[in-house]
């Protein structure tokens, strides 16, 4: 129950961060940097009687209906909730904190700061095995029927929206929108790496029994043991391989320094780990 509550809070935090970017940075500058928010900014300019938050709710309803038709009931409850939470937060900010003018005359700095805030929020949502919906659904349809990779499909959908903004708001705003799409992808990748910063540690030590015991009983983690032969000495050695988060690795390094300061250790940063106690394969 505690895990579900934490996940619920993190999804709401991530959606709120994205809504801050939409309301305070993108909307006042007509920056349609892809996604449902970008499409809603364009629709709001064409039909100003409806707010951006209202358009986001309507577009999400349409996209989920299309998704159910073409993809079946393959959407997770978290994704549905996150997409509508984002729409609600944008609507609430429009109602209680209306923006009459942009925060600054410097369009570039607003774009960079806003996209960094939004990308961090999206990474938080992704880390909870959810997404904010929108162009992800279009990308999944492209993947199923046109065999286009999901990541490339998202990029194509977002770039199409950015192109529409260039036609509607002028080439300068359109170029900034294109740049915003690129920033968003880069910051999301970086933020996800920080959330999932696991390391593969390979240890060769004459005190391998003590180190194995510490990993299993003190850190509560698993390890794999290999037998290796030294190239120069031909001595048989135990090689310990384990995967730890940054905090546990710091503890392990401190322990190894105490028991064997001549141990040989190599560390590799892992981009993605699937299976067992890590991310599920499907």
Give Rg (Cα) of the chain.
Answer: 24
Where on the phi/psi map is residue 131: left (φ > 0), alpha (ψ -120 to 50), or beta? beta
The partner residues of 239 in beta bridges, in order of sequence, read 204, 226
Distances (CA, A) of 198 to 89, 149, 194, 211, 225: 33, 26, 9, 19, 19
Alpha-carbon span 131 to 14, nearest angstrom: 10
Listed in sequence order, the residues at least 6 apart from 143 whose beta carbon sits closer than 8 Å to its beta carbon are 149, 150, 153
Q: Report d(CA 191, CA 120) in Å as an integer.
A: 6
| Predicted model pTM | 0.72
Return all residues near 137 (Cβ < 8 A) that are at least 6 apart: 63, 64, 66, 67, 71, 75
At residue 215, the pLDDT reads 93
The helix (H) or strand (E) run that includes residue 199 is strand 198-204
User: In the prediction, which pLDDT does 279 show?
Assistant: 59
pLDDT at 231: 82
- How much is the pLDDT for 186? 81
DSSP β-ladder status, 224-229 and 198-204: unpaired
Q: Report, as ranges of residue numbers, the positions in the chain whose pLDDT lies below 50.
A: none
| pLDDT score for 239 | 92
pLDDT at 275: 63
| Cα gap 110→112, rounded to integer Å | 6
Among candidates 127, 47, 60, 66, which has minimal Cα distance to 89? 60
Output the pLDDT for position 158: 81
At residue 274, the pLDDT reads 66
């Amino acid at each position: 129950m505690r895990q579900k509550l934490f996940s619920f809070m993190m999804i709401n935090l991530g959606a709120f961060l994205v809504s801050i970017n939409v309301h305070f940075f993108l909307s006042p500058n007509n920056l349609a940097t892809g996604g449902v928010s970008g499409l809603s900014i364009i629709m709001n300019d064409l039909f100003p009687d409806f707010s951006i938050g209202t358009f986001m709710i309507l577009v999400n309803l349409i996209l989920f209906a299309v998704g159910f038709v073409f993809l079946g009931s393959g959407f997770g409850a978290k994704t549905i909730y996150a997409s509508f939470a984002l729409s609600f937060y944008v609507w609430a900010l429009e109602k209680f904190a209306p923006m009459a003018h942009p925060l600054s005359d410097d369009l570039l700095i607003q774009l960079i700061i806003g996209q960094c805030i939004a990308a961090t929020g999206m990474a938080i949502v992704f880390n909870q095995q959810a997404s904010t919906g929108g162009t992800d659904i279009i990308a999944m349809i492209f993947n199923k029927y046109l065999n286009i990779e999901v990541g490339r499909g998202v990029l194509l959908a977002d770039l199409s929206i950015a192109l529409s903004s260039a036609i509607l708001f002028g080439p300068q705003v359109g170029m900034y929108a294109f740049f915003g799409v690129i920033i968003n992808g880069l910051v999301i990748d970086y933020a996800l790496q920080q959330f999932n910063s696991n390391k593969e540690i390979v240890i060769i030590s004459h005190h391998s029994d003590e180190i194995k015991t510490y990993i299993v009983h003190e850190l509560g983690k698993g390890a794999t043991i290999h037998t290796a032969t030294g190239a120069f000495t031909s001595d048989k050695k135990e090689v310990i391989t384990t995967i730890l988060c940054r905090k546990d690795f710091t503890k392990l390094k401190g322990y190894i320094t105490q028991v064997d300061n001549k141990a040989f250790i190599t560390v590799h940063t892992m981009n993605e780990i699937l299976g067992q106690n890590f991310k599920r394969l499907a």
